[in-house]
């Protein structure tokens, strides 16, 4: 289909689904119908990311890929901070269904912008696309191993909005506002420091940046096992965010370098699958650990830290043997 056509189609379908969601919420439809449309809409909008990532790789010189993905993360975190703030304000003045109507407006604006200002960057693949042809990328062992190591970190990073929320509010008895401040701190640090740090990443090298990102992730999550006060939780969040700033844009830049141009979308999609699996399965493991060790948080967070340290070791050997 090409990057541009897929992007426009995804935004159009996503906007229609958000409109349907706004209608269902507005008429107080059964919860199951709302949940079904929500799942479909989120699944459709997830299709944006392989095409966006491939577009960035197409348009950016190799030596500036990390900075480009860093800028993408800045934009994402501005939205992460602004969306809930705007939604929280509007919820006090308009019916709840209108909040989903706002998503229709933003999707439409994005679609109009892409239609007028975005050019196609890919040479359309005329080969017949089959399951076997897609799975051929599994023969690229260097890429598959890199993705598997990233999966470990994604499973750790997925604790941020799931396990951490239950832990901070229900286990160590911080307020929900304080948990919200932890996420706000995370977003603000990314907004202010992500792009400047990318210049440093280019100097020290992408692979060193990934290893340091894994180590900081491990130290930050390990520190949560000894959290006794809000200030300690803030300090741990700073370390975790530092790991995120180093790790996230760098991995996308490396995937862009590893993927052949004619298969860039498939590579980005496969990498996105590992991210989705990590963010989905990681919180399941975290929830089980919370249930089994409710009285000793060290046994909840130590496995997360050890997983991140193991990923750092794995990336070290991957780089030396690739």
Contact 67, 245 (CB under 8 A): no
Predicted TM-score (pTM) of the model is: 0.81
Written as six digits, the tokens of 229 are 């006060």
Residue 219 has what pLDDT? 96
Q: Which among 60, 47, 2 has a CA at the least distance from the CA of 257?
A: 60
Length of the chain: 322
Written as six digits, the tokens of 234 are 């803030």
Integer Cα distance of 243 and 254 in angstroms: 17
By three-state DSSP, how is residue 172 classified?
coil
Residue 144 has what pLDDT? 92
Gap between the terminal Cα atoms of the chain: 32
pLDDT reading at 221 higher than 70: yes
Of all residues in the chain, what percent are helix, strand and coil, respectively (each to 5)? 85, 0, 15
Integer Cα distance of 253 and 63 in angstroms: 9
Integer Cα distance of 257 and 131 in angstroms: 24
Residue 125 has what pLDDT? 64
pLDDT reading at 83 higher than 90: no
């Amino acid at each position: 289909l090409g990057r541009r056509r897929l992007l426009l189609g995804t935004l159009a379908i996503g906007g229609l689904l958000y409109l349907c969601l706004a209608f269902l919420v507005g008429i107080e439809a059964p919860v199951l119908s709302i949940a079904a449309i929500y799942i479909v809409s989120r699944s459709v909008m997830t299709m944006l990311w392989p095409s966006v990532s491939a577009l960035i790789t197409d348009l950016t010189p190799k030596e500036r890929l990390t900075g480009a993905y860093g800028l993408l993360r800045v934009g994402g975190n501005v939205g992460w901070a602004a969306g809930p703030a705007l939604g929280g304000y509007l919820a006090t003045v308009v019916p709840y269904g209108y909040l989903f109507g706002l998503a229709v407006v933003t999707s439409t604006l994005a679609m109009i912008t892409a239609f007028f200002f975005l050019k196609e960057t890919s040479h359309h693949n005329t080969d017949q696309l089959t399951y076997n042809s897609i799975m051929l990328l599994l023969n690229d062992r260097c890429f598959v191993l890199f993705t598997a190591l990233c999966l470990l970190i994604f499973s750790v990073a997925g604790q941020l909005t799931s396990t951490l929320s239950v832990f901070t509010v229900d286990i160590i008895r911080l307020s929900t506002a304080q948990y919200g401040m932890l996420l706000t701190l995370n977003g603000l640090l990314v907004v202010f420091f992500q792009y400047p740090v990318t210049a440093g990443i280019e100097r020290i090298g992408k692979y060193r940046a990934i290893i340091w990102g894994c180590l900081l992730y491990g130290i930050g999550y390990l520190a949560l096992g000894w959290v006794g006060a809000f200030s300690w939780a803030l300090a741990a969040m700073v370390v975790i965010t530092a790991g995120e700033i180093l790790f996230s844009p760098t991995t996308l830049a490396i995937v862009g370098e590893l993927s052949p141009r004619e298969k860039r979308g498939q590579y980005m999609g496969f990498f996105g699958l590992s991210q989705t699996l990590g963010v989905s399965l990681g919180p399941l493991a975290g929830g089980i650990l919370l249930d089994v060790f409710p009285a000793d948080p060290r046994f909840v967070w130590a496995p997360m830290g050890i997983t991140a340290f193991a990923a750092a070791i794995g990336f070290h050997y991957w780089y030396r043997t690739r």
